[in-house]
Amino acid sequence: MKPNQAAVASFSGRVVTTSRTVPDRKVHVCCKTKPPGLALERNSLMQRWTSLTAATNLAAHLVGPGGSIVWLGADGQKAADGRTHHHTPHRWAHTPGCYDKHLGDLKTIVPSLKAMGITAYNASPGTAWADLLPVISLREALEERRAA
């Protein structure tokens, strides 16, 4: 069994993706759309250069108008130790300029979030994308959630 198949088999939650690499009834495969903006159709997610757009799009579908989304780990840059991911690195080499490509796609979803009536924050300390969404601490995000 391939690692992704094993992960899906052992996961009890919802599995949503734009990839067809894990053939399992539990996996809900959404159509992938291109920028600009978030996909409004509930069976579609916008993704081109970063999975953060698809994750944000899925969250927008789930929380709906009046909801809020908080990004964690949206650094937009290499870590101080040079790592590019919190997990084992991808099999593909890090590409110079990739964060600029990510930012280009992310900029297009901010107006979509506003139009959908969704508030979004970035709770990633030291993020290079501080101009994209309001930056708050995770503690602030959790406190806001409890107050709602």
Among 75, 57, 76, 77, which Cα is nearest to 67's? 57
Whether 57 maps to a domain, the answer reads: yes
Among 74, 41, 96, 51, which Cα is nearest to 141's? 74
Report the pLDDT value the prediction gives residue 45, as an integer from 0 to 100. Answer: 98
- Report how many domains make up the chain: 1
Mean pLDDT of the chain: 91
Report the pLDDT value the prediction gives residue 104, as an integer from 0 to 100. Answer: 97
Low-confidence stretches of the chain (pLDDT < 70) are 1, 86, 89-90
Query: CB count, 10 Å around CB of 117?
Result: 12
Whether 6 maps to a domain, the answer reads: no
Among 106, 134, 128, which Cα is nearest to 37's? 106
Task: Supply the range of the domain harboring residue 85.
Answer: 14-147
Whether 109 maps to a domain, the answer reads: yes
Whether 1 maps to a domain, the answer reads: no
Whether 63 maps to a domain, the answer reads: yes
**CB 49 within 8 Å of CB 61:** no
Report the pLDDT value the prediction gives residue 65, as an integer from 0 to 100. Answer: 96
What is the Cβ-side half-sphere exposure of residue 135, based on CA atoms within 13 angstroms?
Answer: 12
Report the pLDDT value the prediction gives residue 1, as an integer from 0 to 100. Answer: 65
Whether 3 maps to a domain, the answer reads: no
